[in-house]
Structure 1
Amino acid sequence: MRTGELAEQAGVNPQTLRYYERRGLLAPPRRSTSGYREYPPEALSRLRFIKRAQALGFTLDETEELLHLADGGPASCDSARTLATARLTDIEARVADLTRMRDSLSDLVTRCDLPRRDRACGLLHTLGEQTGEAR
């Protein structure tokens, strides 16, 4: 399968394939006599693995490790679980941060609903307090 065909089937652009090759996530394909890259069918499975790992929040470094673990035996499951647990902890912390930011911003936006004569802009005031500037 040529670069364009593989990229289309995997939902990535051709530059992504070359980048993954340089990073070692995707094995360099053989070349046809005319110089085109020709990927084996397994390349599509590997790309789908990478995309699923990214969709779960794994970095490319972590994905590379998961790919190596996928080639291993039963002990690899423990290592994969450790990676997934660390990723889950990170995601939970980010969700907590985003929830806090959403709640704070929602509160500030609600204050903006007061009639203009009855309000000072709490959003601008709060932002000014955080930077030490008065509004």
Structure 2
Amino acid sequence: MYWRRWHSVNVARWMFCAFVAMSVSSVSFSQDAGCEAVAAGQRDECAEKAMKAADRVLNDSYDAVIDRAGFRYIFQYQSRHEEHKAFLDRLKNSQRAWIKLRDSNCRLEGFENEWDTTSYSADLNRCAAKMSLERALYLDGILPAH
């Protein structure tokens, strides 16, 4: 009984990781190749789409960490609710701090084009997409499935 549940959870995690890997590569491709190949007026729209796709990948990775923490709580920390809550609080605080860092770094990267609102917006979106995908990969490594 326990093995079947463990096996089905691990298969689901493997499938999720494969999906995330495909999403990351497709977003990276659209960010690198697709946005540079379009006309200058469409780069902002393309970069915005890449940023939104990367944000979805990031949110999925964040939710997956919470799911993995819940799974660990059920099987390992049943009598230690405080540890589970402390982990979730630290995760939330870490994510909030990272968002501030990402936004600050992206404003710095786009500084040269700040006067050109279209280029600046595209720079911010490209930077946010890149950093969000990097953060998603980092979150995927937190509390890995055994």
Query: TM-score scaled by structure 1?
Result: 0.33
Q: Which has the higher helix share?
A: 2
Query: TM-score scaled by structure 2?
Result: 0.31
Higher relative contact order (CA 8 A, sep 6+): 2
Tell which structure's C-alpha radius of gyration is larger.
Answer: 1
